[in-house]
Chain A
């Protein structure tokens, strides 16, 4: 069964460094998402992406964040200058279409900023 995959599973970085989190969505899916979960808190929506454009974003998704689909398979989340409060689990998800009700989630990348 097709799955969303994410790499790396755990990333440790120093404050101020740039990080890129990678996701491979399910191959025939057209909508892509990033969510994050700070330890002990709710899963929060960051951004959705369709047709090489951001289609929706939350107030968390500020200028420090960017997303890209650099090729036909990968979907990346870049954090330009990490802060301690960026430490969280980051989940990628994809769905077949805008009307596709189900979002399929990856296993997450745990980002630790020291």
Chain B
């Protein structure tokens, strides 16, 4: 079974600085999807960024980018120019190509200091 691990329960960063959230996963599959979801307080989870395992190029969405290291089974999220609105719980998630379920990590709570 696949597992996802986020080793940082909490992170904090100064506004306008860059922060990296870590995620590792375990799988025997070669094709899959990886995601970062953001959950602001009392709000629904929204997709921040996704990566298809067959793509070597790291995904980027505006200030959010990933460092996908397939061999190391690592999928970190970098947030550049952090903003107060980035404060949230961030979940890393895995999905097999042929399955529908998402497998989540424990989450990292990100605090932005003004």
Chain A positions within 8 Å of B, measured between CB atoms, are 3-4, 31, 33, 35, 41-45, 48, 55-56, 58, 91, 95, 98, 101-108
Contact = CB atoms under 8 A, between A and B. Distances in A.
A45 B44 contact: no
A108 B95 CA distance: 21
Given A43-B91, A56-B99, A105 B44 contact: yes
15 contacts: A31-B100, A33-B100, A35-B104, A42-B104, A42-B107, A43-B91, A43-B104, A56-B99, A91-B44, A95-B100, A101-B95, A102-B50, A105-B46, A107-B44, A108-B44
Nearest to B43: A107
Interface of B: 33, 37, 42-47, 50, 91, 95, 99-107
